[in-house]
Amino acid sequence: MALRRAVRLSLKKPTHAVCVVGVETYVDVHSDVPKGAETFGVSESSGVRVFVAYDPEQVTVPTGQARWPLDASVDVIVSVDTASKDVNDLKVKVSYFGEHEGDALGHSVLHLTGVDISLDVDTGRTGKVKRSQGDKKTWRWGPEGYGAVLLVNCDRDSPRSRGLDLANRQLMSLDDLQDMSPMVLSCDGPDKLFDSHKLVLNVPFSDAKRVRVFCARGGNSLSDYKQVLGPQRRSYEVKRQAGERQISFYVEGLTFPDANFLGLVSLSVSLVDTRTLPEVPLFTDSVAFRVAPWIMTPNTQLPLELYVCRVIDSHGSNDKFLGDVSDLALKANCKLIICPWIENRNDRWIQDEMEFGYIEAPHKSFPVVFDSPRDRGLKDFPYERILGPDFGYVTREILLSGASGLDSFGNLDVSPPVTVGGKEYPLGRILIGSNFPKSGGRRMARVVRDFLSAQQVQAPVELYSDWLSVGHVDEFLSFVPASDQKGFRLLLASPSACLRLFQEKKEQGYGDAAQFDGLKHQAKRSINEMLADRRLKKDSLHVQSCIDWNREVLKRELGLTEQDIIDIPQLFSLKGSYAEASFPDMVNMVVLGKHLGIPKPFGPVIDGRCCLEEKVRSLLEPLGLHCTFIDDYLSYHKLLGEVHCGTNVRRQPFSFKWWNMVP
């Protein structure tokens, strides 16, 4: 409800006022009254509502002829139900009376012109604009919340455009309107009124660079859609045409939430009386939007597309790896997209280059790729090959220091939905690797961390990954779906579990079985040799302590118990002060629904089977998962990466609507 305007009456001449439908107007009946007047009465024409507000402890409601005491505690309020047909076609009359019965001592007349002004958006989040009488100026989270949603127009719908659609000041494609949020201005009233009054659309200075507004005048031509507000234009005088009752607009988001932007923007329309200097706004209606956040998807979401790179090394191409990944994608009914050498420039680490997510409003959703700041051979691939119609793009640049290894997106993951101490995270929580708290070392760049935190819906958790040579969280953890009530398991690499497994095999008489047996490119080591290696045990103890520290953080921040965690046997060795996987790192897997593409560990073979593979199968297959072990040794493992590092998956968005949560 807008603030009440006050209209002062006069005994000498009629007063004229504009009254907006649904807005109460205070009528001053006290300032100009006849001498000797003690009471007053009010009459009104059809179409006008009159309310008398009073303090019941001081005023007694009059009986018979409604004559109210001229007391400061009695106020007259008027409103209109519909827009007027003509100027001044509504009337309110106030008559003043003395102490004794008799004729009125004087009269004041108020002529009203009703006008219907309302700015409306999809406040109810139904996908359509509906007239709202509620609070449009604020935005509320939750299933009972309200407020419109704005998409960042970060795709490229027109083949004529080279950049993102949001970079264009003019509409380049009618399809682009679907990426914007509709807004409707109601402006019903006598045409003559608008000869002396105007409608002005405004955006606050702080929001002008975040939003752009197009005015729609119907038709199917791009010229029918004119930009009226934006970074270079903060106000617009609406060109209302004769008899026009509604005017349509489309609102375009220009920036994602970030460290200096909470994601809220507002727009307003004012009815301005142009007969006075300075011009006076008689009424203002405002609406609020929240810019839709960029949302990551965890391994538990179904896969839609699997990306992988074709590369050539001194030992040959990775065609065998591509064939194995292709077979896995076929089993998972997932589309395979191979990035050719000419586009990746022999950069195979497609997981490090980008992260797939999506943005969503009630009327529209589309995927958005987040391009990491690492910028190696694949640096142009997300922008040149993925950005397109209904496929958005966002990035953050590190301006001064340059990117570190922790700025690659193998160091970025997200958990499935969790509940922590009664607090729900229905879209999961983002996980990023960092240095040990309050210590020096590598950390993901602030611009990336700020962006992820500002999205609000997947509150990030920082883990300790700086103990690794590469330093990525995907080297020691992964999530897999589970067909039980929990819905997932956290997998953690575990040197202790690996040494226990090898000790069991030794005690069973298989101490001579060797790691890397049959692998041409690596010297084999027996179980007995590895268990007798003091340095390996010392390294394993250190690595296990690092993973255990993260284990406790993950249990606390994700609300997990030990039953939710599976230890995957894995050995690491220290190179200087940093750790590297001693054999292909099995938690660094690609998850395609129930089908897992796991790095082939080349473990000790017992009774014709790799004991590491058999152990992992025994842990994961009871969850309904299917394990496929993929040889990535030469093309990936020897270069300090694995299957997950060399693949990337676009997944199905959540069915849960982000605006229904409470951050």
CA Rg, the chain, in Å?
A: 34
The one-character DSSP state at 470 is S
DSSP for 121-143, please give it.
--TT-SSS-----S--SS---ST
Task: Identify the sign of the CA torsion 160, 166, 167, 169.
Answer: positive
Cβ 652 vs Cβ 335: under 8 Å: no
Q: Which of 353, 404, 395, 97 is nearest to 258 (CA)?
A: 395
Residue 527: which residues within 8 A CB-CB, separation 6 or more?
Answer: 502, 505, 506, 510, 511, 512, 513, 514, 515, 604
601, two tokens: 């560990």
Residue found by looking up tokens 């590190």 in the block: 398
Give every CB contact of residue 64 below 8 A, 6+ residues apart in sequence. Answer: none
Contact 367, 294 (CB under 8 A): no
* CB-based burial, 598-611: b 16+ in 10 Å, e otherwise: bbbbbbbbeeeebb
Q: How far apart are CA 506 and CA 527, in angstroms?
A: 7
Q: How many beta carbons lie within 10 A of that of residue 16, not counting itself?
A: 13
For the chain, helix (H) and strand (E) counts, in that order, are 9, 44
Considering the candidates 19, 154, 215, 645, report the single residue annotated as catalytic.
645
The CA distance from 496 to 499, in Å, is 5
Is 334 among the residues known to form the active site?
no
Report H helices in 111-188.
none
Residue 652 DSSP code: P
Residue that is written with structure tokens 């990936």 in the block: 636
Geometric angle at alpha carbon 634, from 629 and 640, rounded to 5°? 90
Residue 102's alpha-carbon distances to 37, 71, 99, 597, in angstroms, are 12, 20, 9, 98
Q: Catalytic positions, please?
A: 645
